[in-house]
Amino acid sequence: MDNNDIYQVSEKLRQESRSMYNRLRSIDADAQFVTHVSEMLTEYPVIANERCGVWYVDPQLAHSDTVYFKSTDGHTNNWKFSLRRANTHIFPILAQYNGCILVDSTRKGKRMPDSFSRTIPIWCAVWNTAVKILRNTEWDCKLYTPPR
């Protein structure tokens, strides 16, 4: 078997992995994982990110509110906060339940969506800073991001 044959076989396998059936099967497996996690953490509502998370949440399980976090708000060290996507409507939910389960997705091969590793930590740090200023009190407003 020469290099050209190996290339053709690997190309065929790559194309098959991108088939509609395999993509839908992947979405179903991920949705089952979301359901499993929500069953373990029943005290938290499940909120989908409109960008990609809605596909993965059973409508009967999902909270009626969604969020809109765009991963490019934290791309390539472009650390910025978008008032257009302030997502302030979930503050009462976070206060009532002391948190939530956010659902988003990413492409194959990435450990987590950019929204989780950058955009949402920026969002938390900005709003925590606002709380600190408004309450004129000690409040943790550091930026916490996962290790790279």
67-89 pLDDT per residue, tens: 998 876 655 666 778 788 899 99
Residue 73 near residue 119 (C-beta atoms within 8 A): yes
Convert the pLDDT of each residue in 30-47 to its tens digit.
999 999 999 999 999 999
Chain segment 112-144, per-residue pLDDT in tens: 887 888 888 989 999 999 999 999 999 899 999
Using CA of residue 40, residue 42, residue 69, residue 67, what is the dihedral sign? positive
- Which pTM does this prediction carry? 0.79
Task: Give DSSP secondary structure letters for 73-91.
Answer: GGGGG-----GGG--GGGH
Distance CA 13, CA 7 (A): 10
Mean pLDDT of the chain: 85
The secondary element (H helix, E strand) that includes residue 24 is helix 20-40
DSSP E strands in 16-117: the ranges are 46-48, 101-103
